[in-house]
């Protein structure tokens, strides 16, 4: 294991530097491309900080749902195969909740500012 700074901290620092120090000095198409790059760095930061826990939760959920052990990719393929074969659907206990929680975890990484996602997180 490496000492500080962590990869997520490095990527975040670069994004903040570009956002705060460079972006105000650039206009036009170059500014647009810079915003795209900053958004990509922000996405990588979220992947580095959130994906490990969400992948572990997804793997656990799939293991409980399918009753078998395997890799995340393998169990996702198993679930997809079972759905395609008609052995599993949204009425199967746990499937709907697993798919919803997995979707929310993916949105937390990919689109955390998506309006519907933010509304879903609001206290009921």
Enumerate the domain spans of the chain. Answer: 7-121
pLDDT digits (tens, 9 = 90+) for 60-85: 999 999 999 999 999 999 999 999 99
pLDDT digits (tens, 9 = 90+) for 45-55: 999 999 999 99
pTM for this model (two decimals) = 0.79
Q: Is pLDDT of 59 > 70?
A: yes
Rounded CA gap, 5 and 14, in Å?
A: 12
* Residue 28 pLDDT class (50, 70, 90 cuts): very high
Whether the Cβ atoms of residue 34 and residue 11 lie closer than 8 Å to each other = no
Q: And the tokens for 71? A: 């890799």
* Residue 124 pLDDT class (50, 70, 90 cuts): confident
- 14, 1, 17, 80: which is closest to 44 by C-alpha? 14
* Residue 1 pLDDT class (50, 70, 90 cuts): low
**What pLDDT, on the 0 to 100 scale, is given for residue 123?**
87
Whether the Cβ atoms of residue 101 and residue 57 lie closer than 8 Å to each other = yes
Rounded CA gap, 120 and 115, in Å?
A: 9
């Amino acid at each position: 294991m490496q000492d500080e700074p962590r990869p997520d901290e490095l990527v975040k620092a670069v994004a903040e530097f570009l956002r705060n120090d460079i972006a105000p000095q650039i206009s036009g198409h170059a500014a647009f491309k810079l915003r795209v790059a900053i958004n990509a760095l922000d996405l990588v930061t979220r992947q580095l900080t959130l994906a490990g826990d969400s992948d572990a939760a997804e793997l656990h959920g799939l293991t409980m749902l399918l009753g078998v052990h395997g890799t995340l990719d393998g169990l996702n393929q198993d679930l997809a195969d079972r759905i395609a074969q008609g052995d599993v659907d949204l009425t199967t206990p746990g499937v709907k909740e697993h798919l919803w929680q997995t979707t929310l975890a993916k949105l937390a990484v990919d689109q955390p500012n998506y309006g519907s996602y933010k509304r879903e997180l609001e206290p009921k």
